[in-house]
Amino acid sequence: MTHSSFIKSRKNILSNKLYNLIKLFKKLEEHKKENLTSFTPYLFLRFFSKVHFFLKKKKLDLKLYYSAIDNLSKEIIDILETSKNFGFKKFLKNTNLSIKNKKDLKTEDYYGILFENFSDKHYYKEPYDLLKTRLKRNNVNLQLFKNKRILDYGCGNGRYTQAIAKLSLKKLSRYNNSGEPQILGYDKSKTNILTARIKNRFSNVEYKVGDVNQNNLPKESFDIVFCNGVLHHTGDISLGLRQIYKILKSDGICIIYLSSTDGIKWYCIEAFRKILKNYNKIYFFKSLVNLNLNYNKIFYLMDHVFVKYNDLTTKKEVENLFKSSNFKIIKRFNRGHSIDDTERLFQLKKMNPKKAFSVYGYGEHRYILKKNI
């Protein structure tokens, strides 16, 4: 199930403006004589930093976002004019950002690169604070994690695996009675697993390379499966859910985060997925590194944009997916950390629900699920 072009079906001012922007970027990319794509990473950074600033400041005025798109469009027109009036270097294949590698990076290898160089602050402190706040604000007792066997399914570089361990398992020994590690991080990327092992601070945490769509983990063996921002990138959310069902104990819980739809952020991401379709992920990543951005910021910017699958779901769609995979919903997180759309939505929706939805959409889809037995 793919909803990757949800903005096509929305037909509103925002989607029209973004479609015009896509056309303008195409002109930049297809400029016959000169290489103009080197401007794109900076334009991308400037645009998203503006949007995130407005989102953070809880600006419900859509005109602000429209004007950010209009300004970006003007900047592209300026670049095209500068090319005409002044000129840039001739088009050279090896300097053009919009030429993909013949063999495109696999999803897991892409994340391996994005996650490799997080600073300690963004690796240990930030995820711990985010997780704790999200749980607390949704009245989830942190004791829930104590003495439980936990799987971080699609753990990336292990930043949340470490946060979970810090929350709950400091005093436990390396193995539980069955000889298995108490907390397991599991990801398809070898680079991520290597990074996670290097950064691991707990003797009772281990990491393993594997596919969330097809695991050979023991059946009904985990009390908690934590799956944060993974299944919308695999191309088949249901398949991943069925795999979680299989390995979860009958009284276990799944704590899951999936992307949603609507909201300015998703519109912009969808537009840039089209704009950057042909761009080389590695060159683009390096351009952002050269702009001296922190690696966590590069991850936040590039996460959904270049990855092969980014399946977006409305609230109804995601809840139907859970039900059809035989899960029941124990809790939807209606609150979040201040960086979460969900929290902003929570604070603003009493004032103006319609406007709050147009800016923040459904917020993040964060749920606690249980097996329907």
Ligand X SMILES: C[S@@+](CC[C@H](N)C(=O)[O-])C[C@H]1O[C@@H](n2cnc3c(N)ncnc32)[C@H](O)[C@@H]1O
Tokens of 249: 């104990």
| Per-residue exposure over 185-213, b if at least 16 CB sit within 10 Å of its own CB, e if not | bbbbbebbbebbeebbebebbbbeebebe
Q: For 140, phi and psi rounded to 5 degrees?
A: -95, 120
Residue pair 125/118 in contact by the 8 Å Cβ criterion: no
Cβ proximity to ligand X, 187 vs 364, nearer residue: 187
Residue pair 275/21 in contact by the 8 Å Cβ criterion: yes
Tokens of 18: 């973004």
Report, in Å, the least distance between residue 237 CB and ligand X. Answer: 11
CA dihedral 139, 143, 146, 148 (to 10 degrees): -40
Cβ proximity to ligand X, 99 vs 209, nearer residue: 209
Report, in Å, the least distance between residue 334 CB and ligand X. Answer: 20
Cβ proximity to ligand X, 108 vs 262, nearer residue: 108
Report, in Å, the least distance between residue 211 CB and ligand X. Answer: 4
Report, in Å, the least distance between residue 178 CB and ligand X. Answer: 23
Residues of this chain that interact with ligand X (CB under 6 A) are 107-108, 111, 154-156, 159-160, 187-189, 192, 211-213, 228-230, 233-234, 303
CB-based contacts of 54: which residues, under 8 Å, 6+ apart? 64, 65, 68, 264
Strands 327-332 and 248-258, sheet pairing: unpaired
In the bound complex, which residue of the shown chain has the CB atom lying closest to ligand X? 156
Cβ proximity to ligand X, 225 vs 271, nearer residue: 225
Report, in Å, the least distance between residue 198 CB and ligand X. Answer: 15
Cβ proximity to ligand X, 302 vs 359, nearer residue: 302
